[in-house]
Structure 1
């Protein structure tokens, strides 16, 4: 596996930001062996930003598909992010969104993001690209927090649809996916993981999905507590 497969634009941007942003320590459980699927808490973009910036290996990140397409990214910022979330005037929103959409779309494509098609049959493509990456030895990171705008350190409700990766991967390889909780502590400037968990042989999928989904939420809370970020 190539440990660094990001494109030049991403690597240059990462190098520049690392010069000015405080470094984070990495503490990955010794049982974690690539390829794995890391599951992390979104924290209103904080965790994706830190993991993209300081994780020591390249990761294929699940990203809402609109942010990987310049025109769709522009519309997302104009129709929702800048106007509905931040309350900007529509004209000002368009002026701001135009240059930013070029930067974001190209940066995330250079970062080898995997497009996520919510509520669409094209979500199958997301799983197919994920399985292809895993088969090449590339690890994935997913942020399935339902309320992704929350800045809370405590992980609450999470989507569990990402666990369908198991079905596609097992069908292709006959092996189970290793899912790993990954937490980012701002207080300690630390990226920390717990050990991997996987579906069991002959386990009913819905039972395994519920078991692992709850495990991820609980472990992320435990990691946050271990770091002193929640009581």
Structure 2
């Protein structure tokens, strides 16, 4: 059976606008601290902490760029796939919620989650070879349409942390593929979301091809991004992280 083609969101429809305007009644507006007064570029890669469950929604609502967001492919699957991922991975493993709370939230959010993820412009991330190829293909299509890609690459095997312990390398692979296609070294912006103070910090962009001239191994570049994200948080400004995830 052929794989159904994923539809890239180039703009919000009326339902999306209604949904996000409704959410703004309940979710405090975030202050956005930018690295300079210059406008953010028409296309870029943004790598951010997850900030519990708050990061993706905050960025989608308040970062002033057109974007698609990398997210777990299970959340765009059927009800069983969504609830299985929500309970075992998102609520129990990553958010460290207890069983009762996880169960209740899973079966409440599981009902509307696919609609919410689709409206939010979530691009499904797969980890098998064929699926990962599709993820990269759709991401490249977005970038060619001047739609930025937002990625949450943190190592959450021990749950989401206020200080990242490492980041995965998917965003470097995407940058490399885009450079191979176009010769353009995309800016990669580190971002740190602080839900407790309703603030989003956007750091100075870094460029993969430039970094490769200074660092021989991707592991060193991943460490650099881990520290760059952490150091945007005033509470973590002295973070020194040596672990990365390949």
Match of residue 42, structure 1, among 47, 50, 69: 50
Using CA pairs below 8 Å that are at least 6 residues apart, which structure has the higher relative contact order?
1
- In structure 2, C-alpha distance between the alignment counterparts of 1:41 and 1:70, rounded to whole Å: 27
Question: Residue 161 in 1 paired to residue 167 in 2?
Answer: no
Structure 1 residues without counterparts, runs of 5 or longer? none
Match of 1:15 in 2: 21
2:206 is paired with a residue whose SS is coil
Match of 1:33 in 2: 41
**Cα distance change on mapping 1:34 and 1:144 into 2, 3 Å:** same
Answer whether contact 1:184 1:190 (CA < 8 A) is retained: yes
Q: Which segment is superposed worse, 16-25 or 194-203?
A: 194-203
CA RMSD of aligned residues (A): 3.2
Q: CA deviation at 1:97?
A: 4.6
Answer whether contact 1:155 1:221 (CA < 8 A) is retained: yes
- In structure 2, C-alpha distance between the alignment counterparts of 1:111 and 1:207, rounded to whole Å: 37
Aligned residues: 224
Q: CA deviation at 1:211?
A: 3.9
Question: Residue 54 in 1 paired to residue 62 in 2?
Answer: yes
1:163-202 matches, cutoff 5 A: 163-200=172-209
CA deviations on 1:90-134 (whole Å, 9 max, x unpaired) are xx94x8655633411111112221110124431111111111111
Match of residue 87, structure 1, among 88, 99, 115: 99
Answer whether contact 1:9 1:107 (CA < 8 A) is retained: no
CA deviations on 1:10-37 (whole Å, 9 max, x unpaired) are 3222111211222111122236422110
Answer whether contact 1:68 1:109 (CA < 8 A) is retained: yes
Match of 2:222 in 1: 213
- In structure 1, C-alpha distance between the alignment counterparts of 2:135 and 2:177, rounded to whole Å: 11
**TM, length-normalised to structure 2:** 0.77
